[in-house]
Copies of this chain bind each other. A is one copy, B any other.
């Protein structure tokens, strides 16, 4: 079976719940980036051993949190030797507004994966965008490059919507499926 790792930062718990949902879908190991932007030393071995790395961050001020970026900057060591070349990558993000520049975050996660010489897996779930669409439909937010969740500015992690979490779970399952196919 392909090894999938979810590496994420969460500021207030929303992105963590999303990471857990993605991880469930992908049967993945989770690596949390802490409040100082650090990961345990062992995380670099975990990432090196991964077939697929799923990157997750809240969208703060238009892109990933500084803690996630600190992790990305620290990954320059792997970049230098192209140690992650040809791994699969994918990404997800949460923010307060419907758009709120979540697309900018996913584009950045893609850019990071490209620098690592990776392959990027799309979300692969069609948007729910007819008149009959409901907020808890699969991919109601209409994302393509990765998974999105939206949590109102005054909503705690416990209030996250089941539709967004199910979308995250399905997205995780898809990445694992692609990883399995690619590994054969």
Binding site for B on A (CB under 8 A): 37, 60-67, 69-70, 72-73, 75-76, 79, 82, 85-86, 88, 96-104, 107-108, 110-124, 126-127, 129-131, 133, 140-145, 148, 152-155, 159, 178, 181-182, 184
Query: Is B62's CB under 8 angstroms from A111's CB?
Result: yes
> Which 3 A-B pairs have CB atoms at the shortest separation, nearest pair first?
A97-B142, A62-B111, A103-B103
In the docked arrangement, what's the CA distance between A27 and B110, Å? 27
Query: Is B37's CB under 8 angstroms from A66's CB?
Result: yes
Query: Is A61's CB under 8 angstroms from B85's CB?
Result: no
Query: Is B129's CB under 8 angstroms from A100's CB?
Result: yes
Query: Is A111's CB under 8 angstroms from B63's CB?
Result: yes
A69 contacts across to B, CB distance below 8 A: 61, 63-66, 69
Query: Is B119's CB under 8 angstroms from A121's CB?
Result: yes
Cβ contact of A145, chosen from B75, B111, B122, cutoff 8 A:
B111
* 22 pairs of residues in contact across A and B, judged by CB atoms under 8 Å: A60-B72, A61-B73, A61-B75, A61-B115, A69-B69, A97-B142, A98-B142, A99-B103, A99-B141, A103-B103, A104-B107, A113-B122, A114-B123, A114-B144, A117-B123, A129-B152, A130-B152, A130-B153, A131-B155, A131-B159, A182-B182, A184-B184
* Most chain B CB within a 10 A radius of its CB, from A62, A119, A178: A62
Query: Is A111's CB under 8 angstroms from B144's CB?
Result: yes
Query: Is B99's CB under 8 angstroms from A99's CB?
Result: yes
